């Protein structure tokens, strides 16, 4: 049977691909969920139109990275998919419902006249629910999943606790930071100024929550503590929090100096550092702390079959996704495109 195993660590490649796809999802849908989180607080309806126009051509493509993360997990690590989805049953369903309401709001809002406010709220609360639930995944994930044999063996509400609630709120602020810095880049005038205020308001919260998560993880888990606080690991890993802090300071300075584009990319940097820190702490678990990515891996032939196509297609995808962002570059107006 066809396999690339002999000259490539296919399992590791797939792990890297899925981690990357998920990160792209968090970034890309992060900024448009963030726009949804901030939506009703904008100063006027015209601002809201502008906010919507800034993400309307992209949201669908952004959400596709979530489908790729989920589909890729199913394809490459079916065991992890089969354990995590039942374990996170309720938050997954709630996230999906949130995504439904915010997704249809894009189209319905442009068509509605009198009922537009309903879809504005559907967009807002849909975004909040989806973002919060994704934060809850994070909390539930780092607390560990109860597994027996090849299935989830915990209770329906295992995912719900103070910690996961906290990470849910944390991600709301994180996405709001991405959303507001995105708006600074894509809009000007009143909307741009307001986005700048939002960004400086949420930035502090983002810093605080990142500190809480960073400190709590080694406190809660001995393995994580050993990983970070033994020598020489400590020296290799200590740049992660330092760079994060530096980036937050840079964003703060830019916000007060009038830079329009840089804060968005620095915010991406903050997310990258946070993600990196989590990744290091949770390595090599795919279902913490029960199943590693190697244990969850699909058959070599399955992973190889999909990998061949992925390596060809993914660069093409990245090219045309980039092309679409290029076409819709620059500041947006409040008028409908079509």
Partner 1 sequence: MHSIVLILSTLVKSFSGDSQAMIENLDSVLLSRIQFAFTLSFHIFFPAFTIGLASWLAVLEWRLLATGNTVYGVIYRMWVKIFAVTFGMGVVSGVVMSFQFGTNWSVFADKAGNILGPLLGYEVLTSFFLEASFLGIMLFGWNRVDRRIHFAATVIVAAGTLISAFWILSANSWMQTPRGFRIGENGLLYPTDWMQIVFNPSFPFRFVHMVTAAYLTTAFAAGGVGAFYLLRGRHVREGRVILGMAMIMAVFVAPLQLLFGDLHGLNTFSNQPAKVAAIEGLWETRRGAPLILFGWPDQAEEKTKYAVEIPKLSSLILTHDFNGEVRGLKEWPKDQRPPVLWVFWSFRAMVGLGTLMILTGLTALVLYIRKRLFDVRWFQYWCMAMIPAGFAAVLAGWFVTEIGRQPYIIQGVMRTTEAVSPVKALPIAISLGAFILTYAVVFGAGSYYIMKLIRKGPETEAEVYGSHGVKEPPLITGIVSEKE
Q: Which of residues 111-130 bind partner 1 (CB under 8 A)?
A: 111-112
Site for partner 1 (CB under 8 A): which residue of 41, 106, 201, 289?
106
- Point out which span in 37-45, 146-154, 167-175, 237-245 binds partner 1 (CB under 8 A): 146-154
**Token couple for 78:** 């079916």
Question: According to DSSP H, which parts of the chain are helical?
Answer: 10-38, 45-55, 59-76, 78-87, 89-111, 116-143, 162-186, 189-220, 222-229, 233-237, 239-257, 262-282, 293-296, 300-327
Residue 192 is a binding residue for partner 1 (CB under 8 A): no
Interactions with partner 1, residue window 300-319 (CB under 8 A): 301-302, 305-306, 309-310, 313-314, 317
Total interface residues for partner 1 by CB under 8 A: 73
- Point out which span in 213-221, 231-239, 246-254, 323-331 binds partner 1 (CB under 8 A): 323-331
Interactions with partner 1, residue window 44-63 (CB under 8 A): 56-58, 60-61, 63
**Token couple for 49:** 């139109």
- Phi, psi (rounded to 5 degrees) for 187: -130, 165
Q: How far is the CB of 314 from partner 1 (least distance, A)?
A: 7
Residue 216 is a binding residue for partner 1 (CB under 8 A): no
Q: Is 327 exposed, middle or buried (0-12, 13-18, 19+ CB in 10 A)?
A: exposed
> Mapping DSSP to helix (H, G, I), strand (E, B) and coil, where does residue 156 land?
coil
* Nearest by Cα to 58 from 334, 332, 335, 312: 332
**Token couple for 151:** 């299935």
What does each C-alpha distance from 76 to 19, 79, 134, 217 come to in angstroms? 12, 9, 21, 27
Q: How far apart are CA 334 and CA 106, in angstroms?
A: 14
Residue 251 is a binding residue for partner 1 (CB under 8 A): no
Residue 152 or residue 266: which is nearer to partner 1 going by CB? 152
Site for partner 1 (CB under 8 A): which residue of 13, 20, 41, 104?
104
What does each C-alpha distance from 231 to 34, 141, 226, 242 come to in angstroms? 39, 27, 9, 17
Q: Is 272 exposed, middle or buried (0-12, 13-18, 19+ CB in 10 A)?
A: middle
Residue 162 or residue 327: which is nearer to partner 1 going by CB? 327
- Point out which span in 150-158, 164-172, 239-247, 258-266 binds partner 1 (CB under 8 A): 150-158
Residue 246 is a binding residue for partner 1 (CB under 8 A): no
Q: How far is the CB of 328 from partner 1 (least distance, A)?
A: 7
Residue 200 or residue 302: which is nearer to partner 1 going by CB? 302
Residue labelled with tokens 């290091």: 280
Residue 331 is a binding residue for partner 1 (CB under 8 A): yes
Residue 151 is a binding residue for partner 1 (CB under 8 A): yes
Residue 136 is a binding residue for partner 1 (CB under 8 A): no
Q: How far apart are CA 326 and CA 313, in angstroms?
A: 20
> Mapping DSSP to helix (H, G, I), strand (E, B) and coil, where does residue 57 land?
coil
Residue 252 or residue 305: which is nearer to partner 1 going by CB? 305
Residue 184 or residue 224: which is nearer to partner 1 going by CB? 184
- Point out which span in 37-45, 97-105, 216-224, 256-264 binds partner 1 (CB under 8 A): 97-105
Residue 184 is a binding residue for partner 1 (CB under 8 A): no
Site for partner 1 (CB under 8 A): which residue of 4, 13, 41, 86?
86
Residue 89 is a binding residue for partner 1 (CB under 8 A): yes
Site for partner 1 (CB under 8 A): which residue of 52, 76, 145, 198?
76
Residue 335 is a binding residue for partner 1 (CB under 8 A): yes
Q: How far apart are CA 200 and CA 51, in angstroms?
A: 18
């Amino acid at each position: 049977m066809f396999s690339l195993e002999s000259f490539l660590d296919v399992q590791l490649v797939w792990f890297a691909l899925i981690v990357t796809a998920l990160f792209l999802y968090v970034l890309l849908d992060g900024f448009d969920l963030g726009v949804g989180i901030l939506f009703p607080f904008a100063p006027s309806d015209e601002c809201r139109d502008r906010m919507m126009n800034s993400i309307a051509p992209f949201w669908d493509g952004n959400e596709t990275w979530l489908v790729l993360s989920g589909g890729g997990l199913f394809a490459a690590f079916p065991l992890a998919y089969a354990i995590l989805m039942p374990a996170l049953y309720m938050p997954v369903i709630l996230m999906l419902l949130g995504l439904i309401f915010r997704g249809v709001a894009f189209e319905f809002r442009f068509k509605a006249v009198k009922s537009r406010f309903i879809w504005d709220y559907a967009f807002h609360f849909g975004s909040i629910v989806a973002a919060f639930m994704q934060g809850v995944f994070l909390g539930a994930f780092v607390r560990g999943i109860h597994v027996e044999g090849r299935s989830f063996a915990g209770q329906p509400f295992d995912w719900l606790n103070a910690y996961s609630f906290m990470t849910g709120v944390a991600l709301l602020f994180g996405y709001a930071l991405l959303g507001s810095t995105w708006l600074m880049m894509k809009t000007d005038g009143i909307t741009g100024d307001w986005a700048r205020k939002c960004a400086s308001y949420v930035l502090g919260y983002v810093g605080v929550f990142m500190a809480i998560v960073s400190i709590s993880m080694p406190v809660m888990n001995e393995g994580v503590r050993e990983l970070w606080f033994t020598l020489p690991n400590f020296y290799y890993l200590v740049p992660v929090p330092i760079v994060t802090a530096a980036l937050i300071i840079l964003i703060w300075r830019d916000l007060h100096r009038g830079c329009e584009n840089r804060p968005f990319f620095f915010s991406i940097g903050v997310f990258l550092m946070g993600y990196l820190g989590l990744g290091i702490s949770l390595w090599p678990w795919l279902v913490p702390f029960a199943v590693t990515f190697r244990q969850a891996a699909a058959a070599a032939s399955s992973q190889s079959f999909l990998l061949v196509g992925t390596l060809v297609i993914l660069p093409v995808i990245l090219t045309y996704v980039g092309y679409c962002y290029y076409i819709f570059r620059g500041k947006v107006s409040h008028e409908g495109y079509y």
